[in-house]
Structure 1
Amino acid sequence: MKKLIKPNDNVLDVFHTCISRIRDQDLKNKLTAISQEIELSSIEFDTKATATQLHTISPHDHLANSVTVDEMKAIYTNRMAKKLAPGRVYYDRLMSLPEHGRCPLCAQRVVSTLDHYLPKAHFPYLVVTPFNLIPACQDCNKTKNEDIPNSSEEETLHPYYDDVENISWLKARLNESIPVAIEFYVDPPANTDQILIKRIQFHFKSFKLAALYASHAAEELASIEYTAKHIYNSGGGIELKKYLTETATGKLAISLNSWQSALFTCLSTSNWYCEIRFGL
C-alpha cells in the first residue's frame, strides 16, 4: 500500500459545488438542509479513521429531510464523477494524488476511478467526503465492492491515514522446482503493532495481492532467465548471487514492499537458485 497526501478540500465546499447546478429547487433545498449532517459525518470519519475506529460508524439507510440514498449516490455519480460536472474539479484533484498514477491499494495497476472506503450505499452522508474517496484501479475497487469492516482488524489500509512504507512486511518464498514458482506473504517485524499486522494481512487478502504479485513475478522470472543463466555459466553461483543482490538492493531503495523487492531478495538469498538451479 502506498501512502498518499491527505486531501485538504473542505467537504462542504465539495458538497455545495456538486449541488450548485441542480434545477429542481425542492431537491436542492432538501440537500442544502443536510449540510450539517454532511459536515459532521466527515468530521466523524476523520476522527475515527485516525484511531482505526471506522467500523464503529453506523450505516445510514434513512437520511434527514426525506433525502434518499439514491439521491445522494446521484450527487457523486452525476455531479462529481461525471465529466464536466460541477464537482469534477475535486474528482480530478483526488485522482492526481498517486505517484505515477499507480493504485495505492495494490501499488501495481493504473488508477482509473475513486473508491469509497465506506460504501456510498450504506454511508450516503460520505458520498463526496474527500477522506472517504481513494483513487484506485478498477480491479481493487471491484474486489473490495461494498464490504463494511466489523472490527479494527478488518479495516483495510487507508492511504490517507496509514503509512506502512517504512516497514518491511512483504516477503516471498521460492518453490524449488522448474519452472520456478514464487509465493508472496505478509511477515512484518515482530515489534510491529499487532492490530496493524492483522490489518496488513487483511488488506493483502482482501485485494488478492498474493495472486497478483505471483503473476507478475512469474513473468519477471521468465524475462531474467537468459541473463541469470548467462551469469551463472560465466561466473558461477557467486556472480549470480552478486547480480541478484545488487538488483534487490536497487529495488529496495525504491520500495521496501514492492513485489520486485521481495522477489529479488528471495532469489538472492536462495542457495538453490544461485548454486543449483542453472546447473541442473
Structure 2
Amino acid sequence: MKRLRPPLIHATDTVHACVAGITIAERAQALMDALPTIQISEAEYLELGPAGQLYRITPSNSVTPSIDSALMGVIYKSHFARQGSPSRPLYDQIKMAPEFGICPLCGQRNVATVDHYLPQTRFPTLNLTPLNLVPACSDCNKKKLASVPMSAESQTFHPYFDELSNERWLIAEIHPSSPPSVSFGIRPAEAWDDVMTARMRHHFLVMDLEELYIAQAASEMADISYALEETGATTGLEGIRQHLDSQFRSRHARDPNSWKTALYEGLRDSDWFCAEGYRLIRNRAQTTTR
C-alpha cells in the first residue's frame, strides 16, 4: 500500500475534456448542465476524504434527470477513458501516477486500469472526479468490485488521503516446517487509531494480500536458497543473519512496509531459520503456505 499525491486536475477539467469529444449534441449539453452537480459532489468528497469519512456520501442512481448511472458509465468508458479521445491524456495522467507503475493498493502488481474508489454504478456524480479515480492493477480492481463502505472501518485504503506511517506495520512470521512457511499480518503503527487499524486489516483481507505475499515470498526464498546455503557453509549462523540483515536494510530503505522488507526482517530474526531452516527451502519446489 502506497500513498500517492492527489491528482492536480479537477472534475471541471475532466468534464470539459469529455464534452470536447462527445459528438452527440444532446449528450454533450446534458453533461455540461450536470457540471454544477458534479462540482458539489467533488467538494463533498474533498471535505470528507481527508477525514476518512467517505462512507457518509449517499449513493444515488443518477446525476441529473438527463443523466442516469448507466449513461454516466457510457460517458466514462466511451469518452473519458477511450483511446484517442480529448480526455484520454487526463485518464493516462491518473493511471501513470504511481512510481514504476506499481499498484498502490497491493504494492506488487503493475497498474493496468483506473478504479473508482466509490463505485461508479452507485456514485455516478463521482464518475469523472479525479480524486475518486485510483490507479490499480486488474486484480485489486476486481477484488474490490462495486463494494460500498457502510462504516469508517469498512473503507479500504485510499492512496490520496490515507497517511501510512513509515513505522514497521507489515510483518512476516517464519514457521518451522520443511520447507519453511511464512505468514503476513498487520501490526498497528503507533500513529494509527482503532479505525485506521481496522481499515488496514479490512483492506488486507479484501485484497487477499496475505495470499499474494505468501506466493511471492515462496518464490523469493527459492531464488535465494543457493546463496544462503553457500553463505551458511562458510560463515554459519551469523553469516546467514548478516546476509539477511543486509537484504532487509536495502529493502527497508526503499519501502519500510513492502512484503520483501517484512520477509527479510522475519527471516533475519528467526533463530531457527538462520540455524537450519534455510537448508530446507529446496525440499520442495514451492514453499508451503499457511
Is the CA contact (8 Å cut-off) linking 1:165 and 1:257 kept in structure 2? no
Could you tell me how far 1:87 is from its partner in structure 2?
Answer: 0.9
> Counterpart of 2:127?
127
Pair 199,86 (structure 1): closer, same or farther in 2 beyond 3 Å: same
Distance in 2 (CA, whole Å) between partners of 1:270 and 1:113 is 39
| 1:144 and 2:144 correspond | yes
> Counterpart of 1:231?
231
Distance in 1 (CA, whole Å) between partners of 2:264 and 2:83 is 42
Distance in 2 (CA, whole Å) between partners of 1:21 and 1:206 is 36
Q: How does 1:90-101 map to 2 (within 5 A)?
A: 90-101=90-101
Is the CA contact (8 Å cut-off) linking 1:102 and 1:108 kept in structure 2? yes
Distance in 1 (CA, whole Å) between partners of 2:7 and 2:43 is 13
| Range moving further from structure 2, 59-68 or 43-52 | 59-68
Could you tell me how far 1:279 is from its partner in structure 2?
Answer: 6.7
Could you tell me how far 1:91 is from its partner in structure 2?
Answer: 0.3
| 1:59 and 2:46 correspond | no
SS in structure 1 of the partner of residue 62 of structure 2: coil
Is the CA contact (8 Å cut-off) linking 2:3 and 2:160 kept in structure 1? yes
> Counterpart of 2:30?
30
Distance in 2 (CA, whole Å) between partners of 1:175 and 1:240 is 17
Could you tell me how far 1:17 is from its partner in structure 2?
Answer: 1.3
Distance in 2 (CA, whole Å) between partners of 1:278 and 1:66 is 65
User: Which string of whole-angstrom CA distances, capped at 9 and with x for unpartnered residues, describes residues 178-206 of structure 1?
Assistant: 11111000112345321111111111111
Distance in 2 (CA, whole Å) between partners of 1:105 and 1:278 is 31
The amino acid of 2:66's aligned partner reads: S
SS in structure 2 of the partner of residue 33 of structure 1: helix
Could you tell me how far 1:250 is from its partner in structure 2?
Answer: 1.0
> Counterpart of 2:105?
105
| Range moving further from structure 2, 187-196 or 214-223 | 187-196
> Counterpart of 1:10?
10
Is the CA contact (8 Å cut-off) linking 1:73 and 1:121 kept in structure 2? yes
> Counterpart of 2:43?
43
| Range moving further from structure 2, 42-51 or 209-218 | 42-51
Could you tell me how far 1:277 is from its partner in structure 2?
Answer: 2.4
Is the CA contact (8 Å cut-off) linking 1:167 and 1:188 kept in structure 2? no
SS in structure 2 of the partner of residue 63 of structure 1: strand
The number of residue pairs the alignment matches comes to 280
Could you tell me how far 1:63 is from its partner in structure 2?
Answer: 3.3
Distance in 2 (CA, whole Å) between partners of 1:233 and 1:21 is 66
Distance in 1 (CA, whole Å) between partners of 2:112 and 2:220 is 25
Is the CA contact (8 Å cut-off) linking 1:34 and 1:65 kept in structure 2? no
Pair 34,216 (structure 1): closer, same or farther in 2 beyond 3 Å: same
> Counterpart of 1:207?
207
Could you tell me how far 1:20 is from its partner in structure 2?
Answer: 2.1
SS in structure 2 of the partner of residue 52 of structure 1: coil
Distance in 2 (CA, whole Å) between partners of 1:83 and 1:94 is 14
Distance in 2 (CA, whole Å) between partners of 1:238 and 1:32 is 68
Q: Superposition RMSD on alpha carbons, in Å? A: 1.4
User: Which string of whole-angstrom CA distances, capped at 9 and with x for unpartnered residues, describes residues 33-81 of structure 1?
Assistant: 1111010011111111111110010001133233221111111101111
Distance in 2 (CA, whole Å) between partners of 1:214 and 1:3 is 23
Distance in 2 (CA, whole Å) between partners of 1:145 and 1:191 is 29
Could you tell me how far 1:22 is from its partner in structure 2?
Answer: 2.3
Runs of 4+ in 1 over 3 A off after TM superposition: none
Pair 179,279 (structure 1): closer, same or farther in 2 beyond 3 Å: closer
Distance in 2 (CA, whole Å) between partners of 1:155 and 1:278 is 39
Is the CA contact (8 Å cut-off) linking 1:204 and 1:210 kept in structure 2? yes
